[in-house]
Chain A
């Protein structure tokens, strides 16, 4: 029987009326036990009145739509994942290195991007680091950002934001980096177009590097809307 259904509500109401009737009917009976039977009748009646009112309020407001909900059973457990190791984690050394992902040719860069990892990248293998994506002129020295994976990229006239849309997935595959809050440095229109072209929240244009999110372990998560629909 549903907690918020009419049958349960009617049952509770009927029980309340019946208890009231029986209490009145037996009010003058019971002999020496009369104080006890009267007291029990009153208490039961009071409890049923409260129960019926509570069922009606809950039916209207849907605080507890089911018996499971009333028991505190949510049927869901938050999942704590793990930060997946990057394919390059075994080869990364502190300092910077040339990054040659499979999709590199499609980006039409002046030369391969330079990547620098934070000093504690190797000593914290269970953490995803924030990302700084620096769009610079060819020949500009490699950028470094304390606490962040920094990708120094030298675009050419042939580089498009559409082509660079594959970069986040390539970087997330190769290194342990955060999936949101990337800082894209570079005042040119390419940086702005890249920020607009990637999913909302993934990248921010020209944010101060001290506003980067922290390096964190994998969060606790719940099923998402997409999972629910499927």
Chain B
């Protein structure tokens, strides 16, 4: 709807420019030209926002969505006591959550930048994917959390604690697990907790799995990077917040990583190969390659089910 309004504005300003040009003086012509340019910029911005879901509209913020398989997608707000961040999060509860008394394993799923958790819901159709994989028995019933990773959609934190900025790593590794354990019937042990993400979120999944092996047993990266690509403020983007550096210089933890990429997505392909080549026991790495598709939602839709299936096979199952 918003895009159609923006396109209508482009059409109207162009027509106005054409019709009124000869009747206007220089100032009027300039203002109308500016309006035409702004309408084009607005239309492009609206389309880009629809592609990345950076600023989701109120209508897109689904508070509760019921899946056809009996699952639920809840919208909650996580008050982060440790990080002092208060951010929204979507919570996927599989049908088995209502039908059994088992404590379920958990996956935190991170979005890209720019972006929001809505990208998982709308562009990657994650709820129907999870419903299908669980119903098919390829994945155990799992609670999946989709936290927002930054208080400002234009601020790229790469899920780190920025010096003088948002403490996102603390939010995602302390506050989100604490909130989930307090509100949902889930397993609390690290063997049942995994991470995943696409693009920048994939970097987050790998970095946080390697940094917090006491909290997470496995991580799945969909087109991820080996370094943060931002300035954290303490130089740690070159060391402790750099998975490639960690693998080269620190003892490798007993966790499992799934690294997926498209062969024509140059940087993630190169970085994922580097990470896979550096892996040593007890770190276990599985790779997955899509022939082409670049850095796009089509690739992540392709990787989504294999990544979740793999995660489930590497996490502890539901606990009676």
Contacts and interface: CB of A to CB of B under 8 A. Distances in A.
A93 interface: no
A78 B317 CA distance: 24
Contacts of B302: 74, 76, 78, 222
Q: Chain B interface mostly helix, strand, loop or mixed?
A: mixed
Given A50-B44, A65-B292, A224-B287, A42 B36 contact: yes
Contacts, number: 187
Interface residues of B, number: 65
B143 interface: no
Nearest to A222: B288
Interface in B268-305: 273, 276, 279-296, 298-299, 302-303, 305
Interface stretch (B154-162, B168-176, B258-266): B258-266
B228 interface: no
A40 B290 CA distance: 41
Contact of A180 (B15, B273, B279, B284): B284
A221 B306 contact: yes
B277 to A, nearest CB: 9
A225 B260 CA distance: 9
Nearest to B189: A211
B295 A61 contact: yes
Nearest to B268: A62
A89 to B, nearest CB: 18
B314 A201 contact: yes
Nearest to A78: B306
Nearest to A46: B40
A64 B191 contact: no
Interface string A172-199: 0000001011000000000000001001
Contacts of A86: none
Given A80-B138, A220-B138, A224-B287, A201 B256 contact: yes
B319 interface: yes
A76 B317 CA distance: 30
A64 B295 CA distance: 6
Interface residues of A, number: 60
Given A42-B18, A201-B256, A214 B312 contact: yes
Contact of A223 (B267, B289, B309): B289
A216 interface: yes
A74 B262 contact: yes
B138 A216 contact: yes
B18 A69 contact: no
Contacts of B280: 200
Contacts of A64: 294-296
Contacts of B291: 74-76, 223
Interface of A: 27, 34-36, 38-39, 42-43, 46, 49-50, 61-66, 68-69, 72-76, 78, 80, 126-127, 130, 147, 178, 180-181, 196, 199-202, 204, 207-208, 210-228
15 contacts: A46-B14, A65-B265, A65-B294, A69-B292, A73-B298, A74-B293, A74-B298, A75-B292, A200-B279, A200-B281, A201-B284, A220-B133, A221-B288, A225-B289, A228-B289
Closest 5 CB pairs of A and B: A201-B284, A214-B317, A38-B18, A219-B309, A75-B291
